[in-house]
Every structure is written in structure tokens, then in C-alpha cells.
Amino acid sequence: MALRAALPDVAFCTGEANSAMPAPTCASCHTARANLRRPRSGQALCGTCFCNAFEAEVLHTVLAGRLLPRGAVVAVGASGGKDSTVLAHVLRALAPQLDISLHLVAVDEGIGGYRDAALAAVRHQAARWELPLTVVAYEDLFGGWTMDAVARSTAGSGRSRSCCTFCGVLRRRALEEGARLVGATHIVTGHNADDMAETVLMNFLRGDAGRLARGGGLGSPGEGGALPRCRPLQLASQKEVVLYAHFRRLHYFSEECVYAPEAFRGHARDLLKRLEAARPSAVLDLVHSAERLALAPTARPPRPGACSRCGALASRALCQACALLDGLNRGLPRLAIGKGRRELEEEAPRGRRSVPAADALTAF
């Protein structure tokens, strides 16, 4: 179960007797041998100094962005994967300084053969780190619907790519419910800089001004009665998240979900990898671009209203989660999925969503 991703190519091999080039000395402590070269700066560090620097940078992200006030009760969205594992571990180390308390919240989507193993990883972490854990299940929250049941009812297409998008909508809702259940004041998720850059790129390529307008900054302030959300690893690269997990000896679950990832995200990921090869700062530059983005007044989407059923932010009568569940419960999953898909991908109301992102920019 304790699977790990392969180490990035920036880690030095250690203990190799006939290594041609010995690793340099750590540029921070000047004592230990360096174990890695930081992807962005090229700085050679030992594992301990790297982990300390990584934690200090997350602390800076949280403090500079005023993401978590003192006394906050923080629900950590825990999936058992590398990002949320690293996030929980770093915040646990920083909790005394930040004066926050942590509660792990895991979502059981009801995906046979995948979720059980991932949840076992979360349970192991909670026990090892003595953090409270609450598991909320789609089945309980959504009137008996598991993700497998949703997939079965979607036009016989099996584990189709659109499942990933719907699951994202439901997971967001489930995490919100779980966080409320444990009395949390804030929600944190493990999204790293690479995830953020992919999302920004996708929104640009789709010309989704509405999402670009909401996607900047280090989180959402909790509009429409939702709990404030933030992403403390938003400026940390995927490579460094893997390196941190390696040097802190964190065990996580690293299998891909059985449902194919959203197709378009895969294209954005490939494109980003090529951009990064030519310009190592491309990922972070994109994240910062989204933060600084300002939309012209005419391009700004209208302020969303409240879902008539649950009160969450919605650009139509029902929010995405309620619209999806409504279709499923009425026995019209195909209709719900077909209509839902368009709404999910192009959330801004008609007439506005055709504004190309580039036209909407006034400053960068």
C-alpha cells in the first residue's frame, strides 16, 4: 500500500560507491552532503535543510496571504495521496506557530478497488500523527449515490472521462459538509503549483473569464456562506512535494483513480511540461499571472446568486452539485450528465462565456 512516486531527477544518488561525481556540500548547513538540487533555484541542499526550507516557505505563504487566522479550526482535505499527505504533515509541524488546530476530513466517493486502499492510507496517517479523522461518504450525503453508481447510470459509458468532472463537483460539496460536521472554520486542500498552473492554463484555453476571475489569489474567501478555502502548497512545485515526502519518509497512496482523468486537463498538463522544459519558472509564472489578473468591467461575469435548494453559490437556479443530483434522482442521468457537462465546463452564463480570456485582460 505504501506506494511512492519515483523521485524527481533533481535528487542526487547517495551512497553510490562508484558514483563518478560526489554530491556537493549542502549550501545551507555547509556540513552534510547535498541530497538534491532544488528544481527552481538550482541550490544544492541536504534532505534536512531542504525540508526545513520547504516548511518555512509554506509558513510564509500562509502568513503573507493571511490564509489562516490564529485560532482557526482547519479541516484538511485528506485523500491519502502525496499532496494532502505532505500538506497535513507540514501544517502539523507549523500548527503551534500558526496557533491553529487540525482535523483530517476524508471523502469516500464509493469507488470500488481504489478508495478503500486510499482511505486506509489516511487512517494510518491520522493514527501515526495523532490527528482526528472524519470520513464522509457520498453514499450517506447524496441519497445513496456512490461514484460507481453514478458512473453506471451515465448512459452505459462506464468509467467515462466526464465522471472525473462530476466527481470533482460532488467531492467539493462533500468536503464542505465534512468540514462543517467537525466544526471547522477553514478548509485547506493539497493543490500544488503544478495543479494550479494546469487549471489556469485550461481556463485560458477555454476562454473562461468567469473562472479566471475567481481563480486568482490563494483561495476563496467563503462567499455564499461557504467556508473559506485555501491552498497552502499553491506555490510549491510537484517535484518538491515528492522530494519532501521522500526525505520526511511519508507514506502515501499513489495509484491513479480508476476513472480516467478529465481529458482536457491531460492536454494542459502535457503542454505545461513542455513549457517548463524550456522555461523552468513557467509553472509559477502562470500561478502568479492568475493572481494578478484583472478583468475589464465588461468581461466580468455577473455575481452568482444562491442555489434555490442548498444556498451555495450558483450561476443558475441550482448549483452544480444540486443540478447533478437532481438529474440522477429523477432517473434522467443521461440528461443530467449531458446538460451538466456543458454547465460544468462552461460555467459562466451564456452570452458572457464567449468572451475570450485574452480580450478580457486589462493588466497582467
Least Å from the CB of residue 171 to Zn ion: 15
Q: Tell whether residue 110 is among the known ligand binding residues.
A: no
Task: For residues 343 and 186, give the distance between their C-alpha atoms in angstroms, rounded to a whole number.
Answer: 27
Secondary structure of residue 81 in the 3-state scheme: coil
Stretch that binds Zn ion, among 29-37, 157-165, 209-217, 355-363 (CB under 5 A): 29-37
* Residue 219 near residue 227 (C-beta atoms within 8 A): no
Instruction: Spell out where 138-290 has E strands.
Output: 186-188, 219-220, 229-230
Least Å from the CB of residue 179 to Zn ion: 16
Residue 249 is given by DSSP the state T
Least Å from the CB of residue 215 to Zn ion: 21
Secondary structure of residue 44 in the 3-state scheme: strand
CA 68 to each of CA 97, 126, 160: distance values in angstroms, whole numbers, following the listed order: 12, 21, 37
Residue 83: φ, ψ to 5°: -65, -50
Q: Tell whether residue 78 is among the known ligand binding residues.
A: yes
Site string for Zn ion, 307-346 (x = CB under 5 A): x-xx-x------x--x------------------------
Least Å from the CB of residue 33 to Zn ion: 9
Contacts of 280 (CB under 8 A, 6+ apart): 39, 40
C-alpha cell at 30: 555547509
Q: Which of 293, 284, 87 is CA-nearest to residue 197?
A: 284
Task: For residues 67 and 168, give the distance between their C-alpha atoms in angstroms, rounded to a whole number.
Answer: 23
User: Which of 1, 2, 13, 29 touches Zn ion by CB under 5 A?
Assistant: 29
Query: Residue 73 interacts with Zn ion (CB under 5 A)?
Result: no
User: Which of 23, 26, 218, 357 touches Zn ion by CB under 5 A?
Assistant: 26
For Zn ion, the closer of residues 131 and 344 by Cβ is: 344
Q: Tell whether residue 225 is among the known ligand binding residues.
A: no
Least Å from the CB of residue 232 to Zn ion: 24
C-alpha cell at 338: 449531458
Query: Residue 46 interacts with Zn ion (CB under 5 A)?
Result: yes
Residue 229: φ, ψ to 5°: -120, 145
Least Å from the CB of residue 309 to Zn ion: 5
For Zn ion, the closer of residues 46 and 283 by Cβ is: 46
Query: Residue 124 interacts with Zn ion (CB under 5 A)?
Result: no
Stretch that binds Zn ion, among 15-23, 38-46, 67-75, 100-108 (CB under 5 A): 38-46
Least Å from the CB of residue 231 to Zn ion: 23
Helices within 238-294 (DSSP H only): 238-247, 263-278, 282-292
Alpha carbon 329 to its chain centroid, in Å, reads 29
Stretch that binds Zn ion, among 21-29, 69-77, 106-114, 197-205 (CB under 5 A): 21-29
What residues line the site for Zn ion (CB under 5 A)? 26, 28-29, 32, 46, 49, 307, 309-310, 312, 319, 322
Query: Which residues fall in the annotated binding site?
Result: 77-79, 83, 107, 190, 195
**Binding-site residues for ATP, please?**
77-79, 83, 107, 190, 195
